[in-house]
Amino acid sequence: MNANIILAQIEGAATTGEAPAAATPAAQPAAPAKDAKSGTVQTTDKPAAQPAEETNFLGSPLVMFLIIGVLFYFLLIRPQRKQQKEQQARLNALKVGDSVITNAGIHGEVRKIDERTVDVQIAKDVTITLEKAAIINVKSKD
C-alpha cells in the first residue's frame, strides 16, 4: 500500500510540476530540552559540540626527539668529553721518568718530551719516538 501512495505522489507531482516527494519521511526536529532550573523548553537545532581531543604531550614527535637528544647528551657525549679532558690533563702533566702505556700496548719509560712527541725507552738501549696522543695511560714514579 505504501508503494501505491508513493507512486500517486510522484504522478501527482509530475502533473503539477512539483518536485517528487521524498520516499522517506522527513526528519523530525530535535526534541526540545527542558531547562532544569526554570522549567522552560529550549529547542536545540544544532548537534551537541564534540569535546576537544586532548593532545598527548609525549605523543608529539618533536618532544620525543628533544628527550632522546638530552638523554644522548648526558649518557654519551658528556662522559666522553670528561674522559678527553682527563686524558689531556695526564698528557700535559707527563714528565721524564714516568712509566707509560701506548695504544699499541707497549710499556716504557719517558726519556724526552717535545711539543708533540715523546721518546719512550722500551728496553735497554731501545728508544722509540711516539706522538703524545699514542699514550693512553701514565704511571708516574711519585
Strands 99-102 and 126-131: unpaired
Separation of alpha carbons 130 and 118, rounded Å? 5
Helix (H, G, I), strand (E, B) or coil at 117: strand
Hey, how many other C-beta atoms are within 10 angstroms of the C-beta on 40?
9
C-alpha cell at 55: 593532545
Which segments of the chain have a pLDDT < 50? none
Let me know: does 99 contact 139? Beta carbons within 8 Å: yes
Give residue 139's pLDDT.
Answer: 86
C-alpha cell at 50: 564534540
Using alpha carbons only, what angle is made at residue 75 by residues 70 and 81, rounded to the nearest 5 degrees? Answer: 100
For the stretch 50-66, pLDDT in tens is: 666 666 666 788 989 99
Let me know: does 47 contact 31? Beta carbons within 8 Å: no
Let me know: does 140 contact 130? Beta carbons within 8 Å: no
- Write down how long the chain is: 142
Give residue 5's pLDDT.
Answer: 73
pTM of the model: 0.50
Query: Is 95-142 CATH 3.40.50.2000?
Result: no
Smallest CA-to-CA distance from 97 within 81, 75, 86, 113 is with 113
